[in-house]
Amino acid sequence: MKIHDELNQFLNDNTFKVTYFNKNVNVNNYDEIVNFNSKQIDIKYKDGIFTINGNNLVITKMLDNEILITGEITSLNDNQT
C-alpha cells in the first residue's frame, strides 16, 4: 500500500510550489494572478500572495494550475497572510 499512497500523493499534490531555475520561475497550484506587468507579477495562493519582481517579465506558459515566468528576475517575495 505504501507505493500506492506515494503515487496518489504525487498525482494529487495541491501544494503551492515555486521553483526558480535558469532565470525562469515555475509556479504550481496557484489561485489567480492578481497583478501582471513587465516589472511585477503578484500571484494569489491559499496562504497569501507571492510576488515576482524584475524586468521584461513574460508569462511563457500558463495552465490551469501552473505558470512559467521568464525575464530578468530580481526578487521573489512570499507575503503570507
For the segment 13-40, what is each residue's pLDDT rounded down to a tens digit?
Answer: 788 999 999 989 999 999 999 999 999 9
Residue type, 57: L
Q: In what order do the strands lie in the sheet with 24-28?
A: 17-21, 24-28, 66-80, 48-62, 40-45, 32-36
* Residue 1 forms part of a structural domain: no
Whole-structure pTM value: 0.82
Domain that holds residue 47: 16-80
**CATH code, 76:** 2.60.40.2000
Q: Say if CB 38 and CB 57 are below 8 A apart.
A: yes
- Rounded to the nearest angstrom, the gap between the alpha carbon of residue 77 and the centroid of all alpha carbons in its chain is 11
Domain count, the chain: 1
Please report the pLDDT score of residue 71 as a whole number. Answer: 96
Reading the block at residue 21, the C-alpha cell is 531555475
* Residue 8 forms part of a structural domain: no
* Residue 50 forms part of a structural domain: yes
* Residue 70 forms part of a structural domain: yes
